[in-house]
């Protein structure tokens, strides 16, 4: 595989745009890798956990079981 110029340009850190380092690919440094990881984790944690105990306050519909 011979690297093309376009591929060389594409090989940049998605965080800061600087040339990526093989050691930290696809990032340029551990710092940018950590930033991306933090973004990813924050995205995960951003998932709303609204399933609280309030759901239990609703009456359970189990009358159909008597049918
Ligand atoms: Zn970077």
Residue at 66 is within a domain = no
Cα(47)–Cα(30) distance, integer angstroms = 26
Q: pLDDT by residue (tens digit) across 9-25?
A: 568 999 999 999 999 99
- Bridge partners (DSSP) of residue 60 are none
Residue at 24 is within a domain = yes
Q: List the domain range (segments joined by +) for residue 30.
A: 19-44
Q: In the structure encoding, which two tokens stand for residue 8, read together?
A: 């060389």
CA 51 to ligand 1 center in whole angstroms:
38
Residue at 31 is within a domain = yes
Cα(64)–Cα(58) distance, integer angstroms = 16
Cα(40)–Cα(2) distance, integer angstroms = 32
Instruction: Identify the CA nearest to 7 among candidates 34, 26, 29, 31.
Output: 26
pTM of the model: 0.52
Q: pLDDT by residue (tens digit) across 26-48?
A: 999 999 999 999 999 988 766 66
CA 31 to ligand 1 center in whole angstroms:
7
Looking at the structure of the chain, the number of domains it has is 1
């Amino acid at each position: 595989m011979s690297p093309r110029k376009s591929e060389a340009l594409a090989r940049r850190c998605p965080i800061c745009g600087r040339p990526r380092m093989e050691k930290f690919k696809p990032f340029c440094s551990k710092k940018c890798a950590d930033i991306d990881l933090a973004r990813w984790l924050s995205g995960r944690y951003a998932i709303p956990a609204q399933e609280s105990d309030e759901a239990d306050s609703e009456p359970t519909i189990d009358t159909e079981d008597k049918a």
